[in-house]
Amino acid sequence: MATPMATVTRPAASAAEEAPPRPSWLGALWQFCRQNPLGAVGGIVVIIMIGMAAFADVVTFYDPTRNNFGAMLEPPSTDYWLGTDQFGRDLYSRIVHGARTALLVGFVSAFVGGTVGLILGVASAHFGGRLDLILLGIMDVLMAFPLIILALAMVSIFGTGRFNVIMAITIPFIPRCARVVRSSALAVREMPYIDAARACGFSHARIVMRHMVPNVFAPYLVVTTAAVGQAILLEASLSFLGLGVQEPVPAWGLMLRGGAQDFAESAPWVAVFPGIAISLAVFGFNLFGDALRDWLDPKMKI
Amino acid sequence: MDMRRWTPSLLALAALAIVPFASSQIEAQTPKRGGILKYVVPGEFPTMDGHRENTFALIHPLAPFYSVLIRVDPDNPNSGTYVCDLCTEMPEPADGGKTYTFKIRKGVKFHDGTGLTAKDVEASFQRIIFPPTGVLSSRVAQFTMVDSVTAPDDETLVFKLKYPSGAFIPALATPYNFIYSKAKLDADQHWYEKNVMGSGPFIFEEWQPGAFVKGKRNPDYYHPGKPYLDGYEAIIAKTQTLRVQAIRGDQAATEFRGIPPKARDDLVAALGKDITVQESDWNCVLILSPNHKAKPFDDPRVRRALSLALDRWQGSKDLSRISIVKAVGGIVFPGHPLAATKEELEQIAGYWPDINKSRAEAKRLLKEAGVPDLKFTLTNRSVDQPYTIVGTWMIDQWKQVGITVEQKVEADGPFYESLKAGKFEVGLEFNCQSVVNPLVDVSKFRPDAGDQYSQIEGKDLVKLHEAMNRTADVAEQRRLMRQYEKLILDEQANNFVTLWWYRIIAHRSYMKGWKITPSHYLNQDLSGVWIDK
């Protein structure tokens, strides 16, 4: 005869007394800004960049790829806020549209690379043994190469173009994220609730995806956010070297190449403004990434 | 002397005489001996074999090590006259223009001390004209008229032709026709791909791959008193900014390929009288090559639309401000008597004076061909001047008729692999020649030419080209050239000429004795160059 299970119910008021009130998202944002003013500045830069990329067609006045030799190398003016390049193209329009290229490459590379790294890192920690050893070995080999060198090697294998550049930047990010995530996942693996999940007979996929991944999400988010800035810088570097996206696509690194070098003395704005755009974007993402780490890492709050 | 046989050469002479020669402050001074000339080279040779390669990156650092049989007059390179280098005098053609007998200088020595005879010259031209299996010669097509080369004795060299041809002497004067040692070739036909040993004004001293080539004066050089320099250093610098700064900072006296107008202006502004500028039209042109085997470029209407969309007349004005291109022309070097006049050009699709009419026709053709929103990839070389600049300009021009183009830029190796394997839709390549010799220069547009990448078919072009080469009547040559040109650029729309290049050389004023030519391949043995410091 089955014994009915005893159920214990707690008064709602008692639960409410124990848990502190959860701040609204606006409150949380205010708290974040107060605790991390530099991070907030970075966040604002990131938001402006995303806004520029999303509404590029609305906030610019000229087609960024349209030649206009009548306005060749015009200095900044009311007609051309940031001047024009050697093809007479409006630099402001090219920089705003260039944010699309930078963000597309930056976000896709960082998040795809980070996510693949997350899965590999957690799997490596969970299964351990030979798989861990092999994956760790591969990651160590990949990490032995500086980021730019590995990206250059990838471009020489895949070729130039937007998609290939994304691939070239994504692959070097995988081991970097995998290493960070793996170290967190090793700690999570030893938690009682993981033992409980194993005892319940859950599948490996369920343990990894439902119980381990959510608990290593904070380091993943931090690494990925910081990687966006690095990816933007890498894309600009590859384009500057002629190995990234190609003319006439508006891209900041590409804008620093060719005409910017040839005309740097007589028309410095051709080189200065794309340079500022790259610096601001990387600066913004790095500040924001650092602040996010501080905010999400419980150890930093002690 | 049969004047008819020399007609093309005389035409070349006439054309070269009209080459602009601005700012050339060539002074009649007594050359001084000594000094090391340093100059920058914008590329690096794939191999060291002149018979095999086509690039200035080989000529500029390596030509000073070699002798040639004949050459464009180094003292007057724009005259279009040819003079002996290793021969003793220019021969009169015999046998109705089918036999040329050259007498070779006595006492010429290779840099290893061995004597140079007609046998060495014969072995070199055998390799150039009839390369053995496994040996690549880039100039076989220039010598289709040659039946045999023989050296009956150590001082005599005889060329027998299948038919008289005015293109023979200019082909012989091509600066890549280095004279190699027969002994070295007999031992290994590939020896010269990795080694240097000639009989030219300078002796090979050192090569650091990717960095420099050094040469020192040949004390046994057979032109008395020359060379004037103690040696030279060709510094490899692939970035234009770097090259210009090297000249500005006096780390190099010059660059012999050509710089854009802006770099010239910057150097003149910075250095004043310390810099001398020489300019010339350039026997070099960018060619747009659609792949006839790739859809929709198998349709002549689509190919024709590509050309109709380009405003070459305005493009010439615009691009000449930022790039090394300038002249609008057909397939023949502009200004040459065989070249199309402006009125003749304006009859060809893509050269119409009314660009709006031209673009309307381009849109109509694309719509008729079923590709009003054509999209394709333009395969281009990863060289800014003038490749990617002209490529970027063309993409904007095409956009105005609704064509969307992505530019794929590749390094030289993969670029030529793509072209040779037919793995491209539309490619931007070049036709650069040394000696101005339109009858040979336009052979690139033949379906059977080694450097014809568009995969075109048809025998009509071959017949026309051969008829042009066999006739000595200039008027007939011109008539046939117009037909040939109209077929290529308009009716069959096989390949398209974009803009001809314009050569600007800025050199330190202390570098004397060098004169600009319409080719960056010519006059580069440096034997007449001297330093006046």
pLDDT in tens, A57-89: 999 999 999 999 999 999 999 999 999 999 999
pLDDT for A112 beyond 80: yes
Strand spans (E) along B461-517: 496-508, 511-512
Nearest to A72 among B321, B389, B409 (CB): B321
Q: Is B15 helix (H, G, I), strand (E, B) or coil?
A: helix
Q: Is A87 on the interface with B (CB under 8 A)?
A: yes
At A215-267, the pLDDT tens digits run 898 889 888 988 999 999 999 999 988 888 899 999 999 999 877 778 888 89
pLDDT in tens, B110-121: 999 999 999 999
Domain B281-502 belongs in CATH node 3.10.105.10: yes
**Coil, strand or helix: which one is B215?**
strand
Average pLDDT, chain A: 87
Q: Does A268 touch chain B (CB under 8 A)?
A: no
> Which range (A264-268, B331-335, B492-496) has the least confidence?
A264-268
- pTM attached to this predicted model: 0.83
**pLDDT tens figures, A255-302:** 998 777 788 888 999 999 999 999 999 999 989 888 887 777 655 555
Percent of chain B with pLDDT over 70: 95
The single-letter code of the amino acid at B216 is K
Interface contact A259-B408, CB threshold 8 A: no
Report the pLDDT value the prediction gives residue A300, as an integer from 0 to 100. Answer: 55
DSSP β-ladder status, B202-208 and B212-217 = antiparallel
Question: Do B322 and A72 make contact, defined as CB atoms within 8 angstroms?
Answer: yes
Q: How far is CA B321 from CA A67, B17, B260, B344, B504, in A?
A: 14, 25, 8, 26, 12
Gap from B409 CA to chain A (nearest CA, Å): 7
Establish if B321 touches chain A: CB-CB under 8 angstroms: yes
Q: Which position has the higher pLDDT, A242 or B59?
A: B59
Q: What's the pLDDT at A3?
A: 46
Q: Please give, rounded to a whole number of angstroms, the shortest distance from the CA of B401 to a CA of chain A.
A: 13
Helix axes B261-271, B240-248, angle to 10 degrees: 20
User: Considering only B56-65, B234-243, B272-281, which range has the smallest mean pLDDT?
Assistant: B234-243
Q: What single DSSP character describes residue B79?
A: S
Contact A51/B at CB under 8 A: no
| Closest CB to B409 among A246, A261, A265 | A246
User: Is B266 within 8 Å of A265 when comparing Cβ atoms?
Assistant: yes
Cβ-Cβ pairs closer than 8 A, A with B, add up to: 62
Q: What is the pLDDT of residue B521?
A: 94
Q: Give the chain A residue whose CA is nearest to the CA of B391.
A: A247
- What ipTM was reported for this prediction? 0.81
Residue A66 is nearest to which of B240, B396, B408, comparing CB atoms?
A: B396
Report residue B449's pLDDT band, with 50, 70 and 90 as the boundaries. Answer: confident
